[in-house]
Amino acid sequence: MFFDNCAVPDINVVGPVHEGFKVAMATLDGGRIGIACQAIGIARAAFERSVAYAKERKSFGVPIAQHQAIQFMISDMATQIEAARLLAWRAAWMKDRGVRHTMESSIAKLYASEMATRVTHKAIQIHGGYGYSTEFPLERHYRDARITEIYEGTSEIQRIVISSGLLR
């Protein structure tokens, strides 16, 4: 779409004139916090299902939650979810205070989206064949987690934004 000689009333201008790119980038910064939170929610849902399932499902006569390998997976999942949550809170806190948060939003989005993929992968592992089945929500959680690594800027773009902030 092209607009030539188009007049826009002052009341309809978003941000300062000729500063549209900055406005768009600031919008992305906030959106990345939202994607981080979405990824955390997806991971949390997969985690909660995994904990419940591990307490119910038995192997060798005991709930699989008693097996060290499952305990390690659940511990790692919880730790990664909490780390992502704190990164997202930090970026949101900065945004709420009007502080520049470009790098922090990208850090939160990068970590949370990749964490959600790792956590949902482990959730499928804990559930075994049921985790892969479309009759259980975990396969959808995995797909939903994976897309958070793509929209609002891929993980590679987030790494560029982060390194630009660090190497400035």
Q: Are 132 and 124 in contact (CB under 8 A)?
A: yes
Structure tokens at 1: 């779409």
Mean pLDDT on 3-32:
83
What is the reported pLDDT for 20? 77
Q: What is the number of other CB atoms lying within 10 angstroms of the CB of residue 101?
A: 23
Q: Which residue type occupies 72?
A: F
Mean pLDDT confidence for 12-18: 81
Domains of the chain: 26-55+63-167 (1.20.140.10)
User: Residue 105 pLDDT more than 90?
Assistant: yes
Concatenating the DSSP letter of every residue in 48-84 gives HHHHHHHHH-EETTEEGGGSHHHHHHHHHHHHHHHHH
Q: How confident is the model at residue 22 (pLDDT cuts 50, 70, 90)?
A: confident
Question: pTM for the complete prediction?
Answer: 0.89
Which contacts of 5-13 are long-range, i.e. CB under 8 A and separated by 24 or more positions? none
Give the pLDDT of residue 63: 98
pLDDT at 14: 78
pLDDT of residue 18: 79
Query: Is residue 19 predicted with pLDDT exceeding 80?
Result: no
**Catalytic sites, residue numbers:** 152
User: Average per-residue pLDDT in the chain?
Assistant: 94
DSSP assigned state of 108: H
d(CA 3, CA 119): 46
Q: What is the DSSP string of 110-161?
A: HHHHHHHHHHHHHHHHHHTHHHHSTTSTHHHHHHHHHHTTTTTS-HHHHHHH
**What is the four-CA torsion angle of 140, 143, 148, 153, rounded to 10 degrees?**
-150
45-97 pLDDT, tens digit per residue, is 999 999 999 999 999 999 999 999 999 999 999 999 999 999 999 999 999 99
pLDDT of the residue at 16? 82
